[in-house]
Chain A
Amino acid sequence: DTEVTQTPKHLVMGMTNKKSLKCEQHMGHRAMYWYKQKAKKPPELMFVYSYEKLSINESVPSRFSPECPNSSLLNLHLHALQPEDSALYLCASSQSSGPTGEQFFGPGTRLTVL
């Protein structure tokens, strides 16, 4: 299995809602990543988990809360989001953490905040 899966594909939420995005890989990769991608812009790194521990947090607002329950699963918990948080959220994984790890991306979750 060489896929990174993400659920849901689409999510619409209000500013007072709490929701979660899920990412899963079964390639035995030890690093997992969350990215935010706005239209016509490149992906922006949000968080990196290495061996289930948070290793990079790119000064992301606390309304985004990542969680890595095990080496195959990565969640992004969302609470009190703003309309400007609407974007495509991409998850990726790599066998090795750090700069030399080739990343495998999921298809993304398209988030709309009303």
Chain B
Amino acid sequence: ILNVEQSPQSLHVQEGDSTNFTCSFPSSNFYALHWYRWETAKSPEALFVMTLNGDEKKKGRISATLNTKEGYSYLYIKGSQPEDSATYLCAFWNYGQNFVFGPGTRLSVLP
């Protein structure tokens, strides 16, 4: 069973704060790491798909980094806004065709 972990489990920040959270995954047989954002009562929305060690991707105020050798990815949100409140999920693909989601980090941004 592949173990994908995310920390923290939940996070409360003030509007304007910058924040980051972690996804840990097995470093062997790595193929790709996905980040999704899931707002309550909506569908999960893809943020990034990352495949290369050292890769860094950015979309507006959100960015992500990837370290495949040590098995972790960071998601950063700069200047959090209330509309960033959501659960952020990472998901790991390996060469064995296994695709596993982490448990998510629930972010609440307080106005």
Contacts and interface: CB of A to CB of B under 8 A. Distances in A.
9 contacts: A4-B43, A45-B100, A55-B97, A56-B97, A90-B44, A99-B99, A103-B36, A104-B43, A107-B43
Interface residues of B, number: 21
Given A42-B103, A43-B101, A105 B31 contact: no
Contacts, number: 49
Nearest to A45: B99
Given A42-B104, A99-B31, A99-B32, A105 B45 contact: yes
B75 interface: no
A42 B49 contact: no
A42 B45 contact: no
A46 to B, nearest CB: 11
Interface of A: 4, 41-45, 48, 55-56, 90, 92, 98-108
Contacts of B91: 42
Given A42-B89, A43-B101, A108 B34 contact: no
Nearest to A94: B46
A104 B49 contact: no
B51 interface: yes
Interface in B18-58: 31-32, 34, 36, 42-46, 49, 51
Given A41-B103, A42-B101, A45-B99, A99 B93 contact: yes
Contacts of B46: 102-104
Contacts of A100: 31-32, 49, 51
A110 B108 CA distance: 25
Contacts of A43: 44, 89, 101
Nearest to B43: A105
Contacts of B45: 105
